[in-house]
Structure 1
């Protein structure tokens, strides 16, 4: 489908006597469409099912999860005819998370097919749609940590309503649950103690702040051992995280 500006330019060119073949080559419009415009046959575009600019509805819980995955290991790439590919990169070591990523993509846009593209040690969950940028306005050229990442109002509302699912997406992409250890001297003997904690790593300070804010909504304490790494280590906090994130394997 072509936009109204392209149609107006083509009609002006036809009125000026330019040939359909020349207009087709210059504007990238098929000659069949040009003939329809010349003869007054206007094909109406079907109503979009985009939840933002059309008549579609958004599965908000699944979107909160997918937003976390996108900010962690996702990207959009532009293809022909203004179609965008949503790509979520998944580690082959965690097949359950690959299935989960595919499931939330299907839930957010059930009318499109979802593909798996395999590479060495990695599987990309992909879906093509013209309206992915409507759902991810953070999309822009360049790596996420080199540009500003902010949520718009409607995204903030969804994250505020479903912070657990947003955090699940973030930690499933750029986080992990690990076993740490420490030593203590008890009755003159050195004993080793192990304890679990969650780690989230991301080079984007903006994405890190979004993770912190979601944890704050749930009153889950965290600390920053490094500028690009967040830790949740208190026993009660780890127990709460186990309830909605859990180990990847």
Structure 2
């Protein structure tokens, strides 16, 4: 394996929660070398490749599809808070009813910031998936004081490029964090009696009109028909639209 690939694999293992000794055992690299990689990654390391402000040449985070997904999770139901020494905490809150989404959020977070450990904190009815890094505000410039719906949420050009290339992953993050796929029941009073019709549909609810608009734009890119169900909620209900969105999102699990 190439030396850069070995280093990247070691940093990925550390980010997944493995100890220094276990990472050393799995990669065959000495403890001192792994400590040096963790403390001061080189210019072409995952830190600079995943932070658009730290690279000598600013660029978008990679992998781009994972970033699109994490951006959706963050805008839907995540937040960033400042900690001490210039470190920031990114938190995504996941309902405990959906363990698969908890694991997916943790995996995506580790892929986007492979040099930071992703951990979980169990709370009442939910699990906080979190990661500490100095670079989270660089990757999510929408971070700011106050609630998201109380300030403008505008994507940077490089973020728009990623969402345009991976709208399905972006919408997946939004709906899996702040939306749902369920069954709608409609009553019809007919001369022959009452009949009930059932059909699946998606909802995405958010108090930010900017975030709702971003969701709608991504659905347009996917060719998914949608409409506003309420001032703070959009709906995907047409059968062909639901079937198309199922390819990218699907039920929570």
TM range (shorter): 0.7 to 0.9
User: TM-score if structure 1 supplies the norm length?
Assistant: 0.79
1:20-39 map, 5 Å: none
Aligned to 2:157: 153
How far residue 53 of structure 1 moved from its aligned partner, in angstroms, is 2.0
How far residue 184 of structure 1 moved from its aligned partner, in angstroms, is 3.2
Q: Which runs of 5+ in 2 are unaligned?
A: 1-39
Of the three residues 238, 246, 249, the one matched with 2:250 is: 246
How far residue 241 of structure 1 moved from its aligned partner, in angstroms, is 1.1
1:87 aligns with 2:87: no
Aligned to 2:185: 181
Q: 1:187-226: per-residue Cα shift (whole Å, max 9, x none)?
A: 6232211111000000000000000110111121111121
Question: Quick one: distance in 1 between partners of 2:42 and 2:248?
Answer: 39
Aligned to 2:196: 192
Question: Quick one: distance in 1 between partners of 2:195 and 2:41?
Answer: 71
Question: Quick one: distance in 1 between partners of 2:143 and 2:157?
Answer: 16
Of the three residues 100, 110, 114, the one matched with 2:114 is: 110
1:122-161 map, 5 Å: 122-161=126-165
1:76 aligns with 2:119: no
Aligned to 1:52: 52
Q: 1:105-154: per-residue Cα shift (whole Å, max 9, x none)?
A: 01101121101011111111011110111100000000001110000000
Question: Quick one: distance in 2 between partners of 1:62 and 1:143?
Answer: 24
SS in 1 for 2:247: helix
How far residue 80 of structure 1 moved from its aligned partner, in angstroms, is 1.0
Aligned to 2:209: 205
User: TM-score if structure 2 supplies the norm length?
Assistant: 0.78
How far residue 51 of structure 1 moved from its aligned partner, in angstroms, is 2.8
Question: Quick one: distance in 2 between partners of 1:124 and 1:59?
Answer: 23
Tell which has more relative contact order, 1 or 2 (C-alpha 8 A, sep 6+): 2
SS in 1 for 2:154: coil
Number of residue pairs matched? Answer: 206
How far residue 46 of structure 1 moved from its aligned partner, in angstroms, is 6.4
How far residue 181 of structure 1 moved from its aligned partner, in angstroms, is 1.1
Question: Quick one: distance in 2 between partners of 1:122 and 1:184?
Answer: 38
Question: Quick one: distance in 2 between partners of 1:60 and 1:126?
Answer: 20
Q: Which runs of 5+ in 1 are unaligned?
A: 1-43
1:222 aligns with 2:226: yes
